[in-house]
């Protein structure tokens, strides 16, 4: 596999929104200065109070970190007694460091230096984030709706539909509600299609992201607005829309006082996704029949075969003509995730850039696993943006996780983006999407401090 960082728009996401140094306010400049002072303090504390011992302190800390990383990889990639020996080493390494520092009378020095580094990181992030406003998606006026149709899953999110009395509240606001209450599986796409054919002028879902994506695809095809009610477990799509994830009933305010956002949709084959599609290690794990009942145990049982024995599907991917080689794990996201997040676990600053975020990871050793801590320029990482991604494999079918739903799809699999395809109706007054954490840029901090 060709490893390394692939330059693309993903690496530049959000840079245009950051204000210039010339426009920085006094608070931002002083936060930058404070962060650099704290870095100097963190370096000076061991030098002043430990002298030459500070070199030994650093060596012991680096060695312990290397042992911990190697042990963590061995724990995930090996079986039997080797796995439990690795777990013991992972726990013992930091304990041994603390004991050595305490024996040498240097524990307080290490804690003080660590605290200074931590505070330096906090103040630096605050300085870089201050004043950024460009990540906000533009809002459009929302026309009144006469026949809103909402699909609600009472089992989603541990029973939020019943706990927040969403059905009654929605009906009081004039919505027709379809409750997925039966024991048989419900074809939500067919339900949404029938509602649109019967004259619904808004489709909405109180359920998980997988259900949201299916109904969003129908809404986009019929050109009618879509509404998200945060009744799922994680509500990743709702997070990026800035909706209230603590109180799903607050989302119903969109039936009364709303604005519209025009957002992109991802497609995988003929299916729509709102968050991401994942291939490789993660998709293979969730496809295992035992995963639903024992997620942790199943993951630990399957990972060694994927990491060490290379039992995966031998993926190959091409993103707008760029070859990604043979990633063990591949994530294709509807718009790139924030610059500090390479795993798709955080949030996307925008949902309207008209691009896919692509992350390919290959790890075959503890050294490569450790390199991923280097972030976006790690050796086993391919990171870029594209409008189309084609995934092939030696198998006729591959496992895919689409917005958290486990599927199997025939190869080749084609992922694409539909820019501005979905009109999302959201409450005018809502918590709002928090800005993604800015990447740590010490050169910019020095400019701000000056």
Beta-bridge partner residues of 276: 333
Intervals of CATH 3.40.50.10330 along the chain: 144-263+422-427
d(CA 256, CA 244): 16
Give yes or no for residue 373 having a pLDDT over 60.
no
Q: Which of 30-39, 167-176, 243-252, 392-401 has the lowest mean pLDDT?
A: 392-401
pLDDT in the model for residue 368: 56
Residue 311 has pLDDT above 90, yes or no: no
**If you average pLDDT over residues 52-56, what whole number do you get?**
84
List the structure tokens of 401: 């996780």
What pLDDT is attached to residue 162? 95
Residue 369: how many other CB atoms lie within 10 Å: 21
The average pLDDT across 187-194 equals 96
Average pLDDT, stretch 186-212? 96
The mean pLDDT value for 410-423 works out to 96
Higher pLDDT, 282 or 77: 77
Instruction: Check pLDDT > 60 for residue 259.
Output: yes
pTM of the model: 0.75
The gap from C-alpha 443 to its chain's centroid, in whole angstroms, comes to: 27
Q: What is the token pair recorded at 206?
A: 């109180």
Whether pLDDT at 358 is above 80: yes
Q: Check residue 2 and give its pLDDT.
A: 39
Q: What is the pLDDT of residues 118-169, one digit of tens each?
A: 999 999 988 887 766 556 789 999 999 999 999 999 999 999 999 999 999 9
Phi, psi for 180 (deg, rounded to 5): -80, 70
Question: What is the Cα–Cα distance from 424 to 227, expressed in whole angstroms?
Answer: 6
Most confident of 21-25, 117-121, 261-265: 261-265
R_g of the chain computed on alpha carbons: 25
**Residue ranges matching CATH 2.60.200.40 in the chain:** 274-420
The domain 144-263+422-427: what is its CATH number? 3.40.50.10330
Q: Does the domain spanning 274-420 belong to CATH 3.40.47.10?
A: no
Strand partners, 141: 259
| 385 contacts: CB under 8 Å, gap ≥ 6 | 8, 9, 10, 13, 319, 336, 355, 356, 357, 358
Quote the CA–CA distance of 43 and 63 in Å, as a whole number.
Answer: 19
Q: Would you say residue 416 has pLDDT above 70?
A: yes
Q: What are the pLDDT digits (tens) for 70-115?
A: 888 888 778 888 889 999 999 999 999 999 999 889 899 999 999 9
């Amino acid at each position: 596999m060709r490893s390394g960082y692939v330059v693309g728009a993903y690496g530049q996401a959000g840079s245009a929104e950051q204000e210039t140094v010339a426009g920085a306010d006094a608070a931002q400049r002083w936060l930058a200065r404070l962060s650099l002072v704290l870095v100097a303090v963190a370096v000076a504390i061991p030098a002043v109070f430990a002298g030459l011992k500070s070199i030994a302190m650093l060596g012991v800390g680096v060695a312990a970190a290397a042992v911990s990383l190697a042990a963590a990889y061995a724990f995930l990639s090996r079986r039997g007694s080797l796995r439990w020996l690795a777990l013991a080493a992972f726990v013992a390494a930091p304990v041994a460091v603390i004991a050595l520092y305490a024996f040498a009378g240097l524990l307080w020095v290490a804690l003080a230096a660590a605290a200074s580094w931590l505070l330096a990181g906090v103040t630096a992030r605050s300085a870089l984030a201050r004043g950024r406003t460009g990540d906000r998606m533009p809002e459009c006026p929302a026309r009144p709706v006469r026949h809103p149709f909402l699909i609600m899953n009472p089992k989603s999110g541990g029973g939020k539909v019943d706990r927040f009395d969403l059905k009654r509240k929605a009906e009081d606001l004039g919505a027709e509600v379809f409750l997925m209450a039966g024991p048989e599986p419900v074809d939500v796409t067919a339900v949404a299609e029938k509602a649109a054919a019967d004259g619904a002028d808004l489709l909405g879902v109180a359920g998980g992201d997988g259900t949201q994506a299916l109904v969003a695809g129908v809404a986009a095809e019929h050109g009618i607005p879509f509404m998200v009610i945060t009744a799922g477990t994680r509500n990743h799509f709702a997070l990026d829309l800035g909706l209230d994830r603590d109180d799903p009933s607050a989302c119903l305010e969109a039936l009364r006082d709303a604005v519209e956002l025009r957002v992109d949709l991802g497609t995988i084959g003929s299916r729509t996704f709102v968050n991401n599609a994942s291939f490789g290690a993660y998709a293979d794990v969730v496809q295992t029949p035992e995963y639903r009942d024992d997620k942790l145990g199943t993951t630990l049982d399957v990972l060694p075969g994927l990491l060490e024995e290379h039992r995966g599907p031998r993926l190959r991917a091409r993103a707008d003509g760029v070859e990604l080689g043979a990633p063990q794990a591949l994530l294709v996201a509807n718009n790139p995730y924030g610059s500090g997040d390479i795993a798709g676990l955080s949030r996307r600053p925008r949902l309207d850039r008209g691009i896919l975020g692509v992350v390919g990871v290959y790890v075959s050793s503890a050294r490569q696993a450790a390199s991923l801590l280097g972030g976006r320029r790690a050796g086993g990482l391919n990171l870029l943006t594209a409008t189309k991604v084609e995934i092939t494999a030696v198998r006729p079918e591959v496992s895919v996780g689409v917005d958290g739903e486990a599927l199997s799809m025939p190869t080749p699999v084609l992922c694409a983006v539909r820019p501005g395809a979905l009109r999302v109706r959201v409450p005018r007054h809502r918590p709002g999407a928090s800005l993604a954490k800015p990447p740590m840029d010490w050169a910019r901090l020095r400019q701000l401090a000056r």
